[in-house]
Amino acid sequence: MKFITFTALICSGILLGQIKTDSIAYPDHQPDYSDHVYKPSYKKLIIPATFIGFGVASLTTDALKNLNTSTKYEIGEHQPKHIKLDNYTQYLPAAMVYGYNLAGIKGKHNFKERTIIYGTSQLISAAFVLPLKHLVKEERPDQSNNLSFPSGHTAAAFSSAHFLFREYQDDHFWLAISGYPIAVFTGVYRTLNDKHWVGDVVAGAGFGILSTELAYWVFPLVNQLFNNNKSKTGMMVFPVLDQNHAGAGFVLNF
């Protein structure tokens, strides 16, 4: 709990500093809606569709179901120590976006715009993941409940990593891809912690990437709705953690 409180205080300071920095660096900023990042393209759907298809197939295909069980068996043989770091790393790539901007390495959007995009991606991800968990009702490897498919932690991690990629891919490629290893770590540890099957994690990665792509596609419309509001608008997305659950909080002031 002390760690969570300490992290929250640091994040609050970063966000407040970021708001001040962006208000100076981006006066009356208007994004270029003709940019490729806002343009829907079937090519951008190939990777997430492949991951999601793999995950769905793992629910019914014998070969992939055997991969799930054999991986669980191998993990059980080595008995790795369970850690809870994946509860935090799922949001780390998104936090890096704000950290890089605060350090002076500007991304594609200012604070308000990127927060709208990230918040939208998390809402879309939740709209995919939460209903599917209750519809599929796949039992977790540790038999704790029937909410295994797809992995919400992995979806959040890859959504965050893809958000980092889209913000920095044009000018800082190596920074842009720095979130993906963290997302992979999160997914791997969902299996090592005996919380998810391989198929759950792969599907979660697909839903996460897809959610961020959709968030950028709808951003021009969403941003215009915010700008049409004459009152001052503020929005923030933040992780919500307790002993048994992990999620994202969403605050909107208008």
Per-residue pLDDT band for 26 (boundaries 50, 70, 90) equals low
Give the separation between CA 207 and CA 133, rounded to whole angstroms: 13
Measure Cα distances from 18 to 82, 177, 178, 219 in Å.
35, 22, 21, 21
Which position has the token pair 């940019």?
A: 35
Q: Would you state the pLDDT for residue 225?
A: 85
Measure Cα distances from 187 to 60, 194, 200, 215, 230 in Å.
21, 11, 9, 22, 42
Q: 100 CB contacts (<8 Å, ≥6 apart)?
A: 107, 168, 172, 175
Distance, C-alpha 254 to centroid of its chain: 25
Per-residue pLDDT band for 33 (boundaries 50, 70, 90) equals confident
CA angle 50, 56, 59 (to 5 degrees): 145
- Name which residue leads in pLDDT, 200 or 79: 200
Whether residue 1 has pLDDT greater than 50: no
Mapped onto helix, strand or coil, the DSSP state of residue 16 is helix
**Could you tell me the two tokens for 49?**
């569709």
For residue 247, give the nearest of 126, 97, 99 by alpha carbon.
126
- Before 150, cis peptide (omega within 30)? yes
Mapped onto helix, strand or coil, the DSSP state of residue 51 is helix
Query: Is 90 exposed, middle or buried (CB count within 10 Å of its CB: 0-12, 13-18, 19+)?
Result: buried
Lowest mean pLDDT among 17-26, 87-96, 151-160: 17-26
pLDDT, average across residues 199-227: 95
**Could you tell me the two tokens for 78?**
């080595």
* Predicted model pTM: 0.82
Element (H, E) at 185: helix 179-192
Give the separation between CA 97 and CA 116, rounded to whole angstroms: 13
- What are 106-117's pLDDT values in tens digits? 999 999 999 999
Per-residue pLDDT band for 192 (boundaries 50, 70, 90) equals very high
